């Protein structure tokens, strides 16, 4: 079945550590996105990529990094520079053309302990 797979579902990180969230899609989509979801704030865009080997900062990119070496994969690294990393992270993909549907993964809940 085609879709987006995020792993792990739950992730715990100690303060000061970097952690990488995985996002893989087999929909042959060009565009991929990372959103952060906090209670009462909806979804905020962290980074997005419209083509392999290219990506742009979203609205809240500070403390995060990404790579897009393969069309299918768009991992997100939460670095120690991210001051408040505890949140729910959603990965999405789309064909990349305005107006087309974005498909979402099931999310990763990151907790800093």
Partner 1 sequence: AQTVTQSQPEMSVQEAETVTLSCTYDTSESDYYLFWYKQPPSRQMILVIRQEAYKQQNATENRFSVNFQKAAKSFSLKISDSQLGDAAMYFCAYGRETSGSRLTFGEGTQLTVNP
Q: Residues 23, 5: contact at Cβ < 8 Å?
A: yes
Q: Residues 34, 20: contact at Cβ < 8 Å?
A: no
Shortest distance, position 59 Cβ to partner 1, whole Å:
8
Shortest distance, position 31 Cβ to partner 1, whole Å:
6
| Residue closer to partner 1 (CB basis): 17 or 100 | 100
Q: Residues 110, 15: contact at Cβ < 8 Å?
A: no
Shortest distance, position 17 Cβ to partner 1, whole Å:
25
Shortest distance, position 1 Cβ to partner 1, whole Å:
14
Q: Cα separation of 9 and 84, whole Å?
A: 19
* Residue ranges binding partner 1 (CB under 8 A): 31, 33, 35, 40-45, 48, 50, 58, 88, 90, 92, 94-102, 104, 106-107
Q: Where are the beta strands (DSSP E) in the chain?
A: 4-7, 10-13, 19-25, 31-37, 43-51, 54-57, 64-66, 76-78, 87-94, 103-104, 108-112
């Amino acid at each position: 079945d085609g879709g987006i797979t995020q792993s792990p579902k739950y992730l715990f990180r100690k303060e000061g550590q970097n952690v990488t969230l995985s996002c893989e899609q087999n929909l042959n989509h060009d565009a991929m996105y990372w959103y952060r979801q906090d209670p009462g704030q909806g979804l905020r865009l962290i980074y997005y990529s419209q083509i392999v080997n290219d990506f742009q900062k979203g609205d809240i990119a500070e403390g995060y990094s990404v790579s897009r070496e393969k069309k299918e994969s768009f991992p997100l690294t939460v670095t120690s520079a991210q001051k408040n990393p505890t949140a729910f992270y959603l990965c999405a993909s789309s064909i990349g053309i305005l107006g087309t549907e974005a498909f979402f993964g099931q999310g990763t809940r990151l907790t800093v302990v």
